[in-house]
Structure 1
Amino acid sequence: MHVMIRRYQMTGTMEDLIKRVDALFARQLSGADRSTTSAPVQVPSGILGYQAVQTGEDTLLTITTFSSERHLQKAQEGAAAIRASLTDFLVEEIETFAGEVKINRINEQLLTPVGPHDDDT
Protein backbone atom coordinates (compact mmCIF):
# COMPACT_ATOMS: atom_id res chain seq x y z
CA MET A 1 0.00 0.00 0.00
CA HIS A 2 1.05 3.57 -0.69
CA VAL A 3 -0.30 6.89 0.58
CA MET A 4 -0.41 10.37 -0.95
CA ILE A 5 -0.82 13.23 1.53
CA ARG A 6 -1.49 16.71 0.19
CA ARG A 7 -2.03 20.01 1.92
CA TYR A 8 -4.05 22.70 0.17
CA GLN A 9 -4.93 26.32 0.73
CA MET A 10 -8.14 27.71 -0.73
CA THR A 11 -10.59 30.60 -0.83
CA GLY A 12 -14.35 30.48 -0.37
CA THR A 13 -16.12 28.44 2.27
CA MET A 14 -14.67 25.14 3.39
CA GLU A 15 -18.19 23.70 3.63
CA ASP A 16 -18.85 24.40 -0.06
CA LEU A 17 -15.47 22.98 -1.07
CA ILE A 18 -16.03 19.79 0.92
CA LYS A 19 -19.49 19.31 -0.60
CA ARG A 20 -18.03 19.69 -4.09
CA VAL A 21 -15.14 17.25 -3.46
CA ASP A 22 -17.58 14.75 -1.98
CA ALA A 23 -19.91 14.99 -4.99
CA LEU A 24 -17.12 14.94 -7.62
CA PHE A 25 -14.95 12.26 -6.13
CA ALA A 26 -15.22 10.93 -2.60
CA ARG A 27 -18.73 9.44 -2.73
CA GLN A 28 -17.63 7.16 -5.55
CA LEU A 29 -15.38 5.31 -3.11
CA SER A 30 -18.45 3.90 -1.35
CA GLY A 31 -19.62 0.63 -2.83
CA ALA A 32 -22.96 1.98 -4.08
CA ASP A 33 -21.48 5.15 -5.56
CA ARG A 34 -18.39 3.61 -7.19
CA SER A 35 -20.16 3.15 -10.53
CA THR A 36 -21.40 6.74 -10.77
CA THR A 37 -20.75 7.47 -14.45
CA SER A 38 -22.16 10.99 -14.30
CA ALA A 39 -19.35 12.21 -12.03
CA PRO A 40 -16.91 14.48 -13.91
CA VAL A 41 -13.94 12.65 -12.39
CA GLN A 42 -14.01 8.85 -12.36
CA VAL A 43 -12.23 7.16 -9.46
CA PRO A 44 -9.48 4.96 -10.86
CA SER A 45 -8.98 1.45 -9.58
CA GLY A 46 -6.57 0.94 -6.72
CA ILE A 47 -7.83 3.64 -4.35
CA LEU A 48 -8.55 2.04 -1.00
CA GLY A 49 -9.43 5.08 1.07
CA TYR A 50 -9.68 8.85 1.15
CA GLN A 51 -9.87 11.36 3.98
CA ALA A 52 -10.15 15.16 3.80
CA VAL A 53 -9.21 16.94 7.02
CA GLN A 54 -9.84 20.62 7.64
CA THR A 55 -6.64 21.91 9.27
CA GLY A 56 -7.50 25.61 9.37
CA GLU A 57 -10.05 28.10 8.15
CA ASP A 58 -8.65 27.94 4.61
CA THR A 59 -6.45 24.81 4.68
CA LEU A 60 -7.24 21.18 3.97
CA LEU A 61 -5.18 18.00 4.20
CA THR A 62 -6.11 15.00 2.05
CA ILE A 63 -4.92 11.45 2.61
CA THR A 64 -5.44 8.94 -0.18
CA THR A 65 -4.48 5.29 0.24
CA PHE A 66 -3.64 3.20 -2.84
CA SER A 67 -3.19 -0.53 -3.24
CA SER A 68 0.22 -0.02 -4.91
CA GLU A 69 2.71 2.60 -6.00
CA ARG A 70 1.62 2.01 -9.60
CA HIS A 71 -1.96 2.92 -8.68
CA LEU A 72 -0.74 6.03 -6.85
CA GLN A 73 1.16 7.20 -9.94
CA LYS A 74 -1.75 6.40 -12.26
CA ALA A 75 -4.19 8.43 -10.14
CA GLN A 76 -2.27 11.70 -10.51
CA GLU A 77 -4.26 12.62 -13.65
CA GLY A 78 -7.50 12.25 -11.70
CA ALA A 79 -6.15 14.45 -8.90
CA ALA A 80 -5.28 17.15 -11.44
CA ALA A 81 -8.80 16.90 -12.91
CA ILE A 82 -10.35 17.31 -9.46
CA ARG A 83 -8.25 20.41 -8.78
CA ALA A 84 -9.21 21.80 -12.22
CA SER A 85 -12.88 21.40 -11.32
CA LEU A 86 -12.33 23.49 -8.17
CA THR A 87 -10.95 26.61 -9.86
CA ASP A 88 -13.56 28.89 -8.27
CA PHE A 89 -12.03 28.00 -4.86
CA LEU A 90 -8.49 28.92 -6.01
CA VAL A 91 -7.19 25.65 -4.56
CA GLU A 92 -3.41 25.70 -4.27
CA GLU A 93 -1.42 22.59 -3.40
CA ILE A 94 1.18 23.73 -0.85
CA GLU A 95 2.73 20.41 0.30
CA THR A 96 2.81 16.86 -0.98
CA PHE A 97 4.10 13.67 0.59
CA ALA A 98 3.98 10.10 -0.72
CA GLY A 99 5.27 6.85 0.63
CA GLU A 100 4.82 3.18 1.31
CA VAL A 101 2.64 2.22 4.27
CA LYS A 102 4.74 0.32 6.81
CA ILE A 103 2.06 -0.17 9.49
CA ASN A 104 -1.67 -0.34 8.88
CA ARG A 105 -4.14 -0.99 11.69
CA ILE A 106 -7.80 0.05 11.56
CA ASN A 107 -10.38 0.22 14.31
CA GLU A 108 -13.90 -0.73 13.23
CA GLN A 109 -15.10 2.86 13.82
CA LEU A 110 -12.86 4.00 10.97
CA LEU A 111 -15.03 1.98 8.57
CA THR A 112 -18.00 4.33 9.10
CA PRO A 113 -18.16 6.88 6.24
CA VAL A 114 -18.16 10.56 7.17
CA GLY A 115 -19.15 13.25 4.71
CA PRO A 116 -21.03 16.51 4.37
CA HIS A 117 -24.30 14.65 3.87
CA ASP A 118 -23.79 12.10 6.68
CA ASP A 119 -25.02 12.48 10.24
CA ASP A 120 -22.26 13.21 12.76
CA THR A 121 -21.97 10.20 15.01
Structure 2
Amino acid sequence: MSDPRNPQPTTLYEMIGGAGTVRSMVEAFYPKVQSHPLIGPLFPDNIDPVKEKQYLFLTQFFGGPPLYSEQYGHPMMRARHLPFEITPQRADAWLGCMKEALAEIGMEAGLAELVLQRLQGPAYHFVNKEG
Protein backbone atom coordinates (compact mmCIF):
# COMPACT_ATOMS: atom_id res chain seq x y z
CA MET A 1 0.00 0.00 0.00
CA SER A 2 1.04 3.57 -0.52
CA ASP A 3 2.29 5.53 2.46
CA PRO A 4 -0.12 8.48 2.99
CA ARG A 5 2.89 10.75 3.55
CA ASN A 6 4.42 9.61 0.26
CA PRO A 7 1.82 9.15 -2.48
CA GLN A 8 4.19 7.23 -4.76
CA PRO A 9 3.01 3.69 -5.58
CA THR A 10 4.95 1.07 -3.65
CA THR A 11 3.91 -2.14 -5.40
CA LEU A 12 3.88 -3.18 -9.02
CA TYR A 13 0.11 -3.60 -8.62
CA GLU A 14 -0.22 0.08 -7.72
CA MET A 15 2.32 1.18 -10.33
CA ILE A 16 0.35 -0.38 -13.18
CA GLY A 17 -2.99 1.00 -12.00
CA GLY A 18 -4.47 -1.70 -9.79
CA ALA A 19 -7.54 -3.84 -10.36
CA GLY A 20 -8.72 -2.21 -13.58
CA THR A 21 -5.39 -2.70 -15.30
CA VAL A 22 -5.03 -6.29 -14.15
CA ARG A 23 -8.53 -7.03 -15.44
CA SER A 24 -7.69 -5.37 -18.79
CA MET A 25 -4.47 -7.39 -19.03
CA VAL A 26 -6.31 -10.65 -18.49
CA GLU A 27 -9.07 -9.75 -20.97
CA ALA A 28 -6.52 -8.83 -23.66
CA PHE A 29 -4.26 -11.81 -22.89
CA TYR A 30 -6.55 -14.83 -23.16
CA PRO A 31 -7.77 -14.36 -26.74
CA LYS A 32 -4.10 -14.34 -27.74
CA VAL A 33 -3.43 -17.48 -25.72
CA GLN A 34 -6.46 -19.29 -27.13
CA SER A 35 -5.46 -18.55 -30.71
CA HIS A 36 -1.79 -19.46 -30.21
CA PRO A 37 -1.07 -22.85 -31.85
CA LEU A 38 1.49 -23.91 -29.24
CA ILE A 39 -0.37 -23.04 -26.04
CA GLY A 40 -4.01 -22.62 -27.03
CA PRO A 41 -4.68 -26.38 -26.95
CA LEU A 42 -3.65 -26.50 -23.27
CA PHE A 43 -6.64 -24.36 -22.27
CA PRO A 44 -10.31 -25.33 -22.00
CA ASP A 45 -12.92 -23.99 -24.39
CA ASN A 46 -14.65 -22.22 -21.51
CA ILE A 47 -11.84 -19.87 -20.60
CA ASP A 48 -13.83 -17.75 -18.13
CA PRO A 49 -12.85 -19.68 -14.95
CA VAL A 50 -9.20 -19.59 -16.05
CA LYS A 51 -9.40 -15.83 -16.64
CA GLU A 52 -10.90 -15.25 -13.20
CA LYS A 53 -8.19 -17.30 -11.48
CA GLN A 54 -5.53 -15.45 -13.47
CA TYR A 55 -7.02 -12.12 -12.38
CA LEU A 56 -6.99 -13.21 -8.72
CA PHE A 57 -3.45 -14.57 -9.00
CA LEU A 58 -1.94 -11.60 -10.83
CA THR A 59 -3.55 -9.18 -8.39
CA GLN A 60 -1.81 -10.97 -5.54
CA PHE A 61 1.41 -11.66 -7.46
CA PHE A 62 1.91 -7.98 -8.29
CA GLY A 63 1.42 -6.90 -4.67
CA GLY A 64 -2.31 -6.25 -4.49
CA PRO A 65 -4.80 -7.88 -2.16
CA PRO A 66 -4.26 -11.64 -1.62
CA LEU A 67 -7.38 -12.54 -3.58
CA TYR A 68 -6.14 -15.86 -4.90
CA SER A 69 -5.02 -17.16 -1.51
CA GLU A 70 -8.23 -16.01 0.14
CA GLN A 71 -10.29 -18.04 -2.31
CA TYR A 72 -8.06 -21.02 -3.14
CA GLY A 73 -5.30 -21.18 -0.53
CA HIS A 74 -1.60 -21.08 -1.35
CA PRO A 75 -1.14 -20.68 -5.12
CA MET A 76 1.19 -23.72 -5.53
CA MET A 77 1.38 -22.73 -9.18
CA ARG A 78 4.06 -25.19 -10.23
CA ALA A 79 2.07 -28.10 -8.82
CA ARG A 80 -1.10 -26.82 -10.49
CA HIS A 81 0.69 -26.73 -13.86
CA LEU A 82 2.36 -30.17 -13.61
CA PRO A 83 -0.43 -32.00 -15.46
CA PHE A 84 0.42 -29.93 -18.55
CA GLU A 85 3.54 -30.27 -20.68
CA ILE A 86 5.18 -26.89 -20.21
CA THR A 87 8.22 -26.57 -22.45
CA PRO A 88 10.58 -23.59 -22.70
CA GLN A 89 8.93 -22.82 -26.05
CA ARG A 90 5.50 -22.75 -24.39
CA ALA A 91 6.81 -20.48 -21.64
CA ASP A 92 8.18 -18.16 -24.34
CA ALA A 93 4.82 -18.23 -26.15
CA TRP A 94 2.95 -17.41 -22.92
CA LEU A 95 5.23 -14.46 -22.26
CA GLY A 96 4.89 -13.36 -25.89
CA CYS A 97 1.11 -13.32 -25.58
CA MET A 98 1.40 -11.27 -22.39
CA LYS A 99 3.74 -8.82 -24.12
CA GLU A 100 1.18 -8.39 -26.92
CA ALA A 101 -1.62 -7.93 -24.37
CA LEU A 102 0.32 -5.24 -22.50
CA ALA A 103 0.92 -3.39 -25.76
CA GLU A 104 -2.75 -3.75 -26.69
CA ILE A 105 -3.93 -2.14 -23.45
CA GLY A 106 -1.42 0.67 -23.92
CA MET A 107 0.75 -0.02 -20.90
CA GLU A 108 3.75 2.31 -20.80
CA ALA A 109 6.83 0.47 -22.13
CA GLY A 110 8.86 0.73 -18.92
CA LEU A 111 6.02 -0.68 -16.82
CA ALA A 112 5.33 -3.40 -19.37
CA GLU A 113 8.98 -4.42 -19.15
CA LEU A 114 8.75 -4.60 -15.34
CA VAL A 115 5.62 -6.76 -15.60
CA LEU A 116 7.27 -9.11 -18.09
CA GLN A 117 10.43 -9.36 -15.99
CA ARG A 118 8.32 -10.23 -12.95
CA LEU A 119 6.45 -12.91 -14.92
CA GLN A 120 9.57 -14.54 -16.39
CA GLY A 121 10.40 -16.30 -13.12
CA PRO A 122 7.12 -18.17 -12.81
CA ALA A 123 6.81 -18.78 -16.56
CA TYR A 124 10.11 -20.66 -16.66
CA HIS A 125 9.63 -22.20 -13.21
CA PHE A 126 6.61 -24.09 -14.62
CA VAL A 127 8.71 -25.75 -17.33
CA ASN A 128 8.48 -29.48 -16.73
CA LYS A 129 9.50 -30.89 -20.11
CA GLU A 130 12.23 -29.99 -22.54
CA GLY A 131 11.03 -28.92 -25.96
TM-score band by shorter chain is 0.3 to 0.5
Choose 1 or 2 for highest CA Rg.
2
As a proportion of its length, which structure holds more helix? 2
Output the TM-score relative to the length of structure 1.
0.42
The structure with the largest strand share of the pair is 1
